[in-house]
Amino acid sequence: MKTDIYVYSRTASALLILLACVPTQAQEYPSRPIRMIVPQASGSASDTMARIIAGDLTARLKQQVIVDNRPGGALQLGLELTAKAPPDGYTIAYGMIGALAISPNMLQKPPVDVQKDLAPISQTTTGQMMLAVSPTTSFKSVRDIIVFAKQNPNKLNYASSGNGTPGHVGFELFKTMTGTQAVHVPYKGGAAAITELIAGQVQIMLESTNSITPHAKGGRVRGLAVSGPKRAEALPEYPTIAEAGVPGYEATTWTGVVGPAAMPRAIITRLNAELNRMVVSPAYKEKVMMIGSEPAGGTPEQFGQYIRSEYAKWGDIVKRAGARID
């Protein structure tokens, strides 16, 4: 009996010591630099936002947050590296709608189950895309595009920042709703695609306002409309695609931070708290609004539920549009 009591006492003491260490570890985090994987190329819309967030988190966490661009695999390579990383909070990912909700629906065997292999931490932005055309074209409105495309099936080339991105599937939805045909030309990132749009190598592009707005305002491309349910707060001069001739059209974008599925709750909570402080700061709002997006935050649970609902929504759109990635 005494032996049992002794063993129980030692076990209980060990558990108390272990539990006492948990908050200490959370308080000490981070003690070294954090890697933030971005599953798109440098210069893309996601890369731009990731660097804004990394800079802010660096100041808040007192440790450097390093952006690590890992494009490829239909936006899944970066997520796969994140999912397989040690779940210690030192590898996180900047996830966007294309990587978390669209391209997995377009792959026969996605390497990552985004709803099981990743831990949602916090949403960071919500935004729209802009339908823009090359200045070498004569298109002045969305209706101009529709009329030309109906009269000239597959004579228009539309660019995207890659297979499975919002611009790719968003334009497939545009084609379905307007009964038009155009040829998809994917690039490795938005910067390369926009360069070709400016030069007239492709005629149309549906791209995140984050990356294309400066070019539209500078006259290097001709912006025609935005893709959300209402006009963008930062770009009120542009009508929605629904207003401009495609009733019911809606394709919004969003981003957020995720980590490996087994990340400790205390570290998720710490990162979520810092990200939520960031998104309400005037400095962050100003930077985000300048590129046509809006701040977004919330709990890890809210972000997880949003990912699930968007996954289902875009899965249905992908199925109806017949868009696939081989």
Residue-wise pLDDT tens digits, 298-323: 999 999 999 999 999 899 888 877 77
State the total domains in the chain. Answer: 2
Same domain, 203 and 143: yes
Same domain, 111 and 138: no
pLDDT at 291: 74
Residue 27 lies in a domain: no
Buried b (16+ CB within 10 A) or exposed e, 76-107: bbbbbbbbebebbbbbbbbbbbbbbbbbbbbb
Residue 231 lies in a domain: no
pLDDT at 110: 93
pLDDT at 326: 62
Same domain, 215 and 263: no
Residue 74 lies in a domain: yes
Query: Prior bond to 30 cis, omega within 30?
Result: yes
Same domain, 164 and 302: no
Residue 245 lies in a domain: no
Give the relative orientation of helices 209-217 and 190-199 as an angle to the nearest 10 degrees: 30
Q: Cβ distance 81 to 70 under 8 Å?
A: yes
Record the pTM: 0.79
DSSP state of 281: S
Same domain, 263 and 180: no
Secondary structure element (H or E) that encloses residue 18, with its range: helix 2-28
pLDDT tier for residue 12 given thresholds of 50, 70 and 90: very low
Q: Cβ distance 78 to 219 under 8 Å?
A: no
Same domain, 40 and 120: yes
Phi, psi dihedrals of residue 72, rounded to the nearest 5°:
125, 165
Same domain, 56 and 115: yes
Token look-up 């990356």 returns 211
Distance CA 112, CA 119 (A): 12
pLDDT tier for residue 9 given thresholds of 50, 70 and 90: very low
The enclosing domain of 294 has a CATH number of 3.40.190.150
Beta strands in the chain (DSSP E): 34-38, 65-69, 91-96, 118-127, 129-133, 157-160, 183-186, 204-208, 222-226, 253-260, 294-295
- 171 is in which domain, residue-wise? 129-226
Phi, psi dihedrals of residue 104, rounded to the nearest 5°:
-60, -30
